[in-house]
Amino acid sequence: MIRLNNITLTFPDGDTRVTAVDNISLTAHPGTVTGITGPSGSGKSSLLAVAATLIRPDSGQVLIDDIDATQLNPREATDLRRNNIGIVFQQSNLVPALTAREQLTVMNELGAQHSRRNRAKAAARADVLLDAVGLSDQGGKRPHQLSGGQRQRINIARALMNDPSVLLVDEPTSALDQERGASIIDLILRLTDELNTSTLLVTHDLVHLPRMHGVVHIVDGRFVDALATA
Protein backbone atom coordinates (compact mmCIF):
# COMPACT_ATOMS: atom_id res chain seq x y z
CA MET A 1 0.00 0.00 0.00
CA ILE A 2 1.12 3.57 -0.59
CA ARG A 3 -0.01 6.55 1.44
CA LEU A 4 1.11 10.12 0.78
CA ASN A 5 0.45 12.48 3.69
CA ASN A 6 0.52 16.26 3.15
CA ILE A 7 3.24 16.26 0.51
CA THR A 8 4.74 19.61 -0.42
CA LEU A 9 7.58 19.85 -2.92
CA THR A 10 9.30 23.03 -4.15
CA PHE A 11 12.07 23.60 -6.69
CA PRO A 12 14.49 26.52 -6.81
CA ASP A 13 13.46 29.19 -9.33
CA GLY A 14 15.96 32.07 -9.44
CA ASP A 15 15.80 33.84 -6.09
CA THR A 16 12.56 32.19 -5.10
CA ARG A 17 11.05 28.69 -5.22
CA VAL A 18 8.25 27.24 -7.33
CA THR A 19 5.76 24.98 -5.55
CA ALA A 20 5.28 21.88 -7.71
CA VAL A 21 3.21 19.91 -5.17
CA ASP A 22 1.17 21.75 -2.55
CA ASN A 23 -0.03 19.72 0.44
CA ILE A 24 -1.32 16.65 -1.42
CA SER A 25 -2.50 13.52 0.39
CA LEU A 26 -3.67 10.28 -1.16
CA THR A 27 -3.88 6.57 -0.42
CA ALA A 28 -3.81 3.70 -2.91
CA HIS A 29 -4.94 0.31 -1.63
CA PRO A 30 -3.78 -3.08 -2.92
CA GLY A 31 -5.58 -4.23 -6.06
CA THR A 32 -6.64 -0.71 -7.08
CA VAL A 33 -5.54 1.80 -9.71
CA THR A 34 -5.68 5.49 -8.76
CA GLY A 35 -5.48 7.90 -11.69
CA ILE A 36 -3.61 11.18 -11.22
CA THR A 37 -4.64 13.80 -13.72
CA GLY A 38 -4.37 17.53 -14.35
CA PRO A 39 -3.07 20.05 -16.89
CA SER A 40 0.52 20.19 -18.10
CA GLY A 41 2.81 21.52 -15.39
CA SER A 42 0.29 20.80 -12.61
CA GLY A 43 2.72 18.61 -10.67
CA LYS A 44 1.71 15.06 -11.68
CA SER A 45 5.20 13.81 -12.53
CA SER A 46 6.67 15.56 -9.49
CA LEU A 47 4.17 13.81 -7.24
CA LEU A 48 4.99 10.46 -8.86
CA ALA A 49 8.73 11.08 -8.36
CA VAL A 50 8.06 11.72 -4.66
CA ALA A 51 5.98 8.52 -4.45
CA ALA A 52 8.84 6.68 -6.15
CA THR A 53 11.22 7.97 -3.44
CA LEU A 54 13.32 9.53 -6.22
CA ILE A 55 12.79 13.05 -4.81
CA ARG A 56 12.47 13.85 -1.12
CA PRO A 57 9.59 16.26 -0.49
CA ASP A 58 10.06 19.48 1.54
CA SER A 59 7.47 18.14 3.94
CA GLY A 60 5.03 15.26 4.34
CA GLN A 61 5.25 11.49 4.65
CA VAL A 62 5.65 8.84 1.93
CA LEU A 63 4.45 5.59 3.48
CA ILE A 64 5.27 2.51 1.44
CA ASP A 65 3.94 -0.59 3.18
CA ASP A 66 3.90 1.46 6.40
CA ILE A 67 7.57 2.49 6.09
CA ASP A 68 8.08 6.26 5.90
CA ALA A 69 10.52 6.64 3.00
CA THR A 70 11.30 10.25 3.96
CA GLN A 71 12.99 8.98 7.13
CA LEU A 72 15.34 6.55 5.37
CA ASN A 73 18.95 7.17 4.44
CA PRO A 74 19.73 7.02 0.69
CA ARG A 75 20.82 3.36 0.82
CA GLU A 76 17.71 2.27 2.69
CA ALA A 77 15.54 4.28 0.28
CA THR A 78 17.21 2.57 -2.68
CA ASP A 79 16.55 -0.84 -1.14
CA LEU A 80 12.91 0.06 -0.49
CA ARG A 81 12.55 1.27 -4.08
CA ARG A 82 14.10 -1.87 -5.53
CA ASN A 83 12.07 -4.27 -3.45
CA ASN A 84 8.70 -2.58 -3.00
CA ILE A 85 8.18 -0.21 -5.94
CA GLY A 86 7.85 -0.84 -9.67
CA ILE A 87 8.21 2.22 -11.90
CA VAL A 88 7.14 2.64 -15.52
CA PHE A 89 8.62 5.90 -16.79
CA GLN A 90 7.10 8.09 -19.48
CA GLN A 91 9.98 7.45 -21.88
CA SER A 92 10.69 3.83 -22.58
CA ASN A 93 14.21 3.27 -21.31
CA LEU A 94 14.78 -0.24 -22.54
CA VAL A 95 18.40 -1.16 -23.20
CA PRO A 96 18.86 -1.37 -27.02
CA ALA A 97 21.30 -4.29 -26.88
CA LEU A 98 19.19 -6.55 -24.70
CA THR A 99 16.37 -8.85 -25.74
CA ALA A 100 12.92 -8.41 -24.24
CA ARG A 101 13.56 -11.32 -21.90
CA GLU A 102 16.97 -9.96 -20.85
CA GLN A 103 15.40 -6.56 -20.03
CA LEU A 104 13.56 -8.46 -17.30
CA THR A 105 16.25 -10.83 -16.05
CA VAL A 106 18.83 -8.01 -15.80
CA MET A 107 16.65 -6.43 -13.09
CA ASN A 108 17.62 -9.32 -10.85
CA GLU A 109 21.34 -8.79 -11.46
CA LEU A 110 20.99 -5.09 -10.62
CA GLY A 111 19.25 -5.73 -7.30
CA ALA A 112 21.00 -5.78 -3.92
CA GLN A 113 22.88 -9.06 -3.36
CA HIS A 114 20.66 -10.15 -0.48
CA SER A 115 17.45 -9.57 -2.40
CA ARG A 116 18.44 -11.36 -5.61
CA ARG A 117 16.67 -14.46 -6.76
CA ASN A 118 18.83 -17.20 -8.14
CA ARG A 119 19.13 -17.12 -11.92
CA ALA A 120 16.65 -19.94 -12.52
CA LYS A 121 13.98 -18.26 -10.38
CA ALA A 122 14.54 -14.91 -12.12
CA ALA A 123 14.26 -16.60 -15.52
CA ALA A 124 11.02 -18.30 -14.43
CA ARG A 125 9.62 -14.97 -13.19
CA ALA A 126 10.56 -13.33 -16.52
CA ASP A 127 8.68 -16.06 -18.40
CA VAL A 128 5.57 -15.66 -16.23
CA LEU A 129 5.60 -11.88 -16.79
CA LEU A 130 6.24 -12.12 -20.53
CA ASP A 131 3.22 -14.39 -20.70
CA ALA A 132 1.17 -12.03 -18.49
CA VAL A 133 1.82 -9.12 -20.88
CA GLY A 134 1.05 -11.29 -23.93
CA LEU A 135 4.62 -11.42 -25.29
CA SER A 136 5.84 -14.92 -24.48
CA ASP A 137 6.69 -15.48 -28.15
CA GLN A 138 8.62 -12.17 -28.45
CA GLY A 139 11.17 -12.66 -25.66
CA GLY A 140 14.11 -12.95 -28.07
CA LYS A 141 13.49 -9.63 -29.80
CA ARG A 142 15.41 -6.41 -29.15
CA PRO A 143 13.53 -3.12 -28.59
CA HIS A 144 13.90 -1.91 -32.21
CA GLN A 145 12.18 -5.09 -33.38
CA LEU A 146 9.12 -4.42 -31.20
CA SER A 147 6.20 -2.02 -31.69
CA GLY A 148 5.62 0.94 -29.33
CA GLY A 149 2.83 -0.96 -27.58
CA GLN A 150 5.00 -4.06 -27.20
CA ARG A 151 7.84 -1.98 -25.77
CA GLN A 152 5.43 -0.48 -23.26
CA ARG A 153 4.34 -4.01 -22.28
CA ILE A 154 7.98 -4.95 -21.67
CA ASN A 155 8.41 -1.79 -19.57
CA ILE A 156 5.47 -2.85 -17.44
CA ALA A 157 6.69 -6.45 -17.11
CA ARG A 158 10.14 -5.19 -16.13
CA ALA A 159 8.68 -2.96 -13.41
CA LEU A 160 7.01 -6.04 -11.93
CA MET A 161 10.12 -8.27 -11.87
CA ASN A 162 10.87 -7.73 -8.19
CA ASP A 163 7.25 -8.37 -7.21
CA PRO A 164 6.58 -4.82 -5.96
CA SER A 165 3.60 -3.95 -3.78
CA VAL A 166 3.43 -0.48 -5.37
CA LEU A 167 3.31 0.17 -9.12
CA LEU A 168 3.85 3.73 -10.41
CA VAL A 169 3.10 4.48 -14.05
CA ASP A 170 3.72 7.82 -15.80
CA GLU A 171 1.66 8.55 -18.95
CA PRO A 172 1.73 4.98 -20.32
CA THR A 173 -0.47 5.78 -23.32
CA SER A 174 1.08 9.06 -24.50
CA ALA A 175 2.97 7.52 -27.45
CA LEU A 176 0.16 5.17 -28.50
CA ASP A 177 -3.03 5.48 -30.53
CA GLN A 178 -6.39 5.25 -28.75
CA GLU A 179 -6.87 1.51 -29.24
CA ARG A 180 -3.36 0.50 -28.19
CA GLY A 181 -3.55 2.96 -25.30
CA ALA A 182 -6.80 1.38 -24.10
CA SER A 183 -5.24 -2.08 -24.22
CA ILE A 184 -2.29 -0.88 -22.10
CA ILE A 185 -4.78 0.47 -19.53
CA ASP A 186 -6.60 -2.91 -19.65
CA LEU A 187 -3.29 -4.61 -18.98
CA ILE A 188 -2.44 -2.36 -16.01
CA LEU A 189 -5.91 -2.89 -14.51
CA ARG A 190 -5.63 -6.67 -14.93
CA LEU A 191 -2.09 -6.94 -13.52
CA THR A 192 -3.02 -4.68 -10.59
CA ASP A 193 -5.84 -7.08 -9.79
CA GLU A 194 -3.85 -10.29 -10.33
CA LEU A 195 -0.70 -9.15 -8.51
CA ASN A 196 -2.55 -7.04 -5.91
CA THR A 197 -0.38 -3.98 -6.46
CA SER A 198 -1.31 -0.50 -5.24
CA THR A 199 -1.08 1.35 -8.55
CA LEU A 200 -0.79 5.09 -9.23
CA LEU A 201 -1.20 6.03 -12.88
CA VAL A 202 -0.51 9.52 -14.21
CA THR A 203 -2.49 10.38 -17.32
CA HIS A 204 -3.86 13.46 -19.01
CA ASP A 205 -6.04 11.21 -21.17
CA LEU A 206 -9.49 11.72 -19.62
CA VAL A 207 -11.02 8.88 -21.62
CA HIS A 208 -9.33 6.31 -19.35
CA LEU A 209 -10.34 7.83 -16.02
CA PRO A 210 -13.79 6.23 -15.61
CA ARG A 211 -12.05 2.83 -15.52
CA MET A 212 -9.86 3.70 -12.54
CA HIS A 213 -10.84 2.87 -8.96
CA GLY A 214 -10.22 6.46 -7.91
CA VAL A 215 -9.07 9.70 -9.51
CA VAL A 216 -7.05 12.58 -8.07
CA HIS A 217 -7.20 15.87 -9.98
CA ILE A 218 -4.33 18.29 -9.51
CA VAL A 219 -4.19 21.92 -10.64
CA ASP A 220 -1.15 24.10 -9.83
CA GLY A 221 0.15 21.44 -7.47
CA ARG A 222 -3.08 21.37 -5.49
CA PHE A 223 -5.65 18.68 -5.09
CA VAL A 224 -8.94 19.90 -6.59
CA ASP A 225 -11.24 16.92 -6.59
CA ALA A 226 -11.31 13.18 -6.07
CA LEU A 227 -14.08 10.91 -7.18
CA ALA A 228 -14.40 7.23 -6.58
CA THR A 229 -15.51 5.64 -9.82
CA ALA A 230 -15.40 2.01 -8.68
Ligand X SMILES: Nc1ncnc2c1ncn2[C@@H]1O[C@H](COP(=O)(O)OP(=O)(O)OP(=O)(O)O)[C@@H](O)[C@H]1O
State in angstroms the smallest separation of the CB of 89 from ligand X: 12
Nearer to ligand X, 30 or 89 (CB): 89
Nearer to ligand X, 44 or 151 (CB): 44
State in angstroms the smallest separation of the CB of 198 from ligand X: 20
State in angstroms the smallest separation of the CB of 165 from ligand X: 24
Nearer to ligand X, 8 or 165 (CB): 8
Nearer to ligand X, 1 or 209 (CB): 209
CA dihedral 93, 96, 99, 102 (to 10 degrees): -50
Q: Where are the beta strands (DSSP E) in the chain?
A: 2-13, 16-28, 32-37, 59-64, 67-68, 85-88, 166-170, 198-202, 214-219, 222-228
State in angstroms the smallest separation of the CB of 117 from ligand X: 34
Interacting residues with ligand X (CB under 6 A): 11, 18, 20, 38, 40-46, 204
State in angstroms the smallest separation of the CB of 222 from ligand X: 11
Sequence-distant (6+) residues with CB within 8 A of 6 are 23, 24, 25, 59, 60, 61
Nearer to ligand X, 126 or 218 (CB): 218
Please give the distance of CA 203 from its chain centroid, rounded to a whole number: 12
Sequence-distant (6+) residues with CB within 8 A of 44 are 36, 37, 38, 170, 202, 204, 218
